């Protein structure tokens, strides 16, 4: 009952904004960071999107603190197909009094949009399937989510009761077996340039037979339609979750198509 009440209160804090891809012909970035949840909708076709950020996390079962850089590059090949590459170029970890510098895994992914959110049909969500595979192993210690060798996800995004939501159901193959995850993020514009989002997430931890649960809060500022800054924090809710994260970063959609195409009005 407490969780249901918390979610209703959370939903009441936000007003939804319709998903648009262009503003008077200028392409609009579609950030997936910094939430754990990925949106089902994808960026405009033919535009490269970069998502870059820094994260500091503290107090897990194996890690005292960790500072890391994460980077994702993605491009929509069609209105229904997107490819992306994720990397962690550098991380510094302090554990039991010792420090180490590492790189993280390199991942490649594919996202297929099965149905689009149509204007005027707010109840109907955008639904997508995603597949991710590790193409190079890193040595950075994992925090809440175990390093995957491959994984799949069902994604949905839409508007409900005047609130925009993104939710994921994840199935990852990790060293300890199969890891299951569920995420829910809600978001809304406070002004034309400022937005807030809140998220609750859960992942099983097959190695220990425990669960990691956390809640994330984030603010974003749109400098341009194609350049968005973000910052926020995450709080772990179980003893095996990282106690907290702080993060900041940006999403930049290169405002020129990689290949020629119809110019929107």
* Domain definitions of the chain by residue range: 2-253
More confident residue, 24 or 221: 221
pTM recorded for the entire structure? 0.87
Q: What tens digit of pLDDT does each residue of 174-190 get? A: 887 899 999 999 999 99
Residue 265: what pLDDT? 53
CA 159 – CA 39 distance, rounded (Å)? 12
Whole-number Cα distances in Å, 91 to 23, 57, 102, 255, 261: 37, 11, 5, 30, 39
In which band, very low, low, confident or very high, does the pLDDT at 240 lie, cut at 50, 70 and 90?
Answer: confident
In which band, very low, low, confident or very high, does the pLDDT at 62 lie, cut at 50, 70 and 90?
Answer: confident
Neighbours of 49 (CB within 10 A): 24
CATH level 3 topology of 2-253? Porin (2.40.160)
Tokens 């891809």 sit on residue:
21
Neighbours of 46 (CB within 10 A): 18
Whole-number Cα distances in Å, 132 to 33, 75, 82, 104, 107: 16, 15, 12, 15, 7
- pLDDT of residue 87 exceeding 60, the answer is yes
In which band, very low, low, confident or very high, does the pLDDT at 161 lie, cut at 50, 70 and 90?
Answer: confident
Region of 46 on the Ramachandran plot (φ > 0 left; ψ -120 to 50 alpha; else beta): left
Residue 118: what pLDDT? 54
The half-sphere exposure of 209 on its side-chain side, counting CA atoms within 13 A, is 0
The least confident of 40-54, 59-73, 209-223, 228-242 is 59-73
Q: State mean pLDDT over 95-117.
A: 91
Contact 229, 235 (CB under 8 A): no
Q: Is 10 helix (H, G, I), strand (E, B) or coil?
A: helix
Contact 77, 47 (CB under 8 A): no
């Amino acid at each position: 009952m407490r969780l249901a009440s918390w979610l209703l209160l959370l939903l009441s804090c936000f007003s939804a904004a319709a998903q648009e891809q262009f503003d008077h012909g200028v392409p609009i970035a579609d950030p997936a960071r910094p939430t754990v949840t990925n949106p089902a909708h994808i960026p405009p076709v033919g535009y490269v999107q970069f998502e870059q950020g820094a994260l500091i996390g503290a107090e897990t079962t194996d890690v005292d603190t960790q500072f890391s850089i994460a980077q994702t590059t993605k491009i929509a090949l069609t209105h229904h197909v997107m490819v992306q590459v994720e990397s962690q170029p550098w991380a510094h970890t302090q554990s039991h009094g010792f420090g180490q510098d590492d790189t993280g895994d390199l991942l490649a992914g594919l996202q297929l949009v099965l149905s689009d959110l149509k204007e005027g049909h707010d109840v109907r969500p955008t639904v997508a399937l995603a597949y991710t595979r590790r193409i190079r192993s890193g040595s950075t210690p994992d925090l809440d989510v175990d390093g995957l060798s491959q994984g799949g996800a069902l994604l949905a995004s839409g508007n409900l009761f005047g609130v925009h939501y993104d939710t994921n159901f994840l199935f990852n193959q990790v060293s300890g077996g199969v890891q299951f995850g569920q995420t829910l993020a809600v978001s809304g514009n406070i002004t034309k340039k400022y937005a807030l989002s809140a998220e609750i997430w859960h992942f099983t931890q097959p190695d220990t037979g425990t669960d990691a649960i956390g809640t994330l809060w984030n603010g974003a500022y749109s400098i341009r339609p194609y350049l968005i800054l973000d910052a926020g924090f995450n709080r772990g809710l179980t003893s095996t979750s990282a106690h907290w994260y702080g993060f900041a970063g940006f999403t930049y959609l290169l405002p020129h198509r990689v290949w020629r195409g119809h110019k929107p009005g």
